[in-house]
Structure formats: structure tokens, C-alpha cells
């Protein structure tokens, strides 16, 4: 009888029973969860802080077509595609609420700021004023914060970059962007 009273006196559901609560993998030992929201005015997000070095591919995408020169986007957006070992260092959303591996990360810095230490001024200017909508460069970066959020029925990840270093000077140009947009 005492057990049945205790069971009815605690009607709160556990966190895992809430369908709109994000759960995260525990691979990020050096990142600490400092804030989160599971709905309401703040939406759905989680923010982690800590220093993590990642390796992978810096991706710069532009909202432009290769053969159009008028009003061409020369600012672009920066993303990072972590390699497998780096992906394991990051908290990925798991569970039932918009689970998604960390396949790409939107970066807080403008492409010019990220490209200058990798390519120098001349090659950076050439890339930013180029005609292709996507460029990829192998890179190593250190992040100081990492966030996850849900918007437009899609989970996304962002990071605040502390530093970036080249892995090689190879630049790959591609005709189709795949990360830019909603």
C-alpha cells in the first residue's frame, strides 16, 4: 500500500518521457552544458562551453551561380565538416527529438577571417571573388563553444571558433552548395 501511494504522489514524468526534450551523446568530455531550453519563448537549444581541437574540412559556401557575375555574393558562409575522430568529441543529439549526428557545423566567423590564416590575402581575395558557390579546405580548428538548436523542423549545430590552422594548402571548388540555407 505504501508503494502505491508513493507512485501516485509523484506524477512528474522523467526527462526521457518528455517527447520534446533533447538528449545528447556523452562523447564531449571537454565540453560542459551551460544552458538549454526545451521549448517556450527560447525555443529548443543547448549550449556547451570548453576548448576542443577538431580536424576536418572547412567549407565556404556562397549564394551564387557559377555563370552569374552581377550582384555576386562575395561574403559567403562558413561551415566545418568534422572528421570521424572529431565528430566523437562533440555532443550529438540522440533520442527521439530531432536526432542528428554532427555532420556539419555553422561557424561564427566570416569566411574572410577564417581564410586569411589558411591562404593568405591574395588567395583569400581570389576565392571570395571567385565564381564557384562552394570551396573546401582541410583544416584544424579549436572551438570554445558549441550549440545545438532546432529551427524549421531541422536540427543544426554552431561553434564559436578560437583558432584555425591549415592542414594542407589544397582548395577544392565545387559547383553546388549543400549546407547554405534553411
Residue 99 lies in a domain: yes
Please enumerate in sequence order all residues whose Cβ is within 8 A of that of 11, keeping only pairs 6 or more positions apart, or say none. none
Residue 73 lies in a domain: yes
Answer positive or negative: Cα dihedral of 52, 171, 133, 111: positive
Domain count, the chain: 1
Domain that holds residue 60: 31-174
Question: With bands split at pLDDT 50, 70 and 90, how would you rate the model's confidence at 68?
Answer: low
Question: With bands split at pLDDT 50, 70 and 90, how would you rate the model's confidence at 10?
Answer: very low
Question: For residue 21, with 0-12 CB atoms within 10 Å meaning exposed, 13-18 middle and 19 or more buried, which class applies?
Answer: middle
Cell of 160: 564559436
Which pLDDT value is given to residue 181?
57
Residue 170 lies in a domain: yes
How far is Cα 14 from Cα 58, in angstroms, rounded to an integer? 39
Give this prediction's pTM.
0.80
- Alpha helices by DSSP H, listed for 21-110, are 84-87
Bridge partners (DSSP) of residue 16 are none
The answer to which of 9-13, 80-84, 137-141 has the lowest mean pLDDT is 9-13
Which pLDDT value is given to residue 17?
54
**Whose CA is closest to 127, among 30, 29, 59, 52?**
59
Residue 12 lies in a domain: no
Residue 108 lies in a domain: yes
Give the mean model confidence (pLDDT) for residues 86-105: 83
Cβ atoms < 10 Å from Cβ of 8: 8
Residue 17 lies in a domain: no
Q: Let me know: does 79 contact 107? Beta carbons within 8 Å.
A: yes
Which pLDDT value is given to residue 77?
95
Residue 162 lies in a domain: yes
How many DSSP H helices and E strands does the chain contain? 3, 9
Residue 87 lies in a domain: yes
Amino acid at each position: 500500500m505504501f508503494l502505491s501511494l508513493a507512485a501516485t504522489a509523484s506524477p512528474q514524468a522523467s526527462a526521457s518521457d518528455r517527447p520534446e526534450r533533447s538528449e545528447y551523446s556523452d562523447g564531449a568530455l571537454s565540453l560542459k552544458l551551460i544552458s538549454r531550453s526545451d521549448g517556450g519563448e527560447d525555443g529548443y537549444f543547448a549550449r556547451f562551453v570548453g576548448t576542443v581541437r577538431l580536424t576536418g574540412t572547412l567549407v565556404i559556401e556562397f549564394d551564387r551561380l557559377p555563370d552569374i557575375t552581377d550582384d555576386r555574393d562575395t561574403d559567403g558562409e562558413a561551415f566545418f565538416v568534422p572528421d570521424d575522430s572529431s565528430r566523437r568529441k562533440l555532443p550529438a543529439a540522440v533520442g527521439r527529438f530531432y536526432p542528428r549526428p554532427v555532420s556539419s557545423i555553422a561557424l561564427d566567423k566570416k569566411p574572410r577571417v577564417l581564410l586569411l590564416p589558411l591562404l593568405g590575402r591574395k588567395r583569400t581575395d581570389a576565392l571570395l571573388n571567385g565564381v564557384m558557390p562552394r570551396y573546401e579546405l582541410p583544416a584544424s580548428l579549436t572551438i570554445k563553444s558549441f550549440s545545438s538548436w532546432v529551427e524549421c523542423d531541422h536540427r543544426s549545430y554552431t561553434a564559436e571558433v578560437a583558432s584555425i590552422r591549415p592542414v594542407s594548402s589544397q582548395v577544392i571548388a565545387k559547383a553546388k552548395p549543400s549546407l547554405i540555407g534553411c
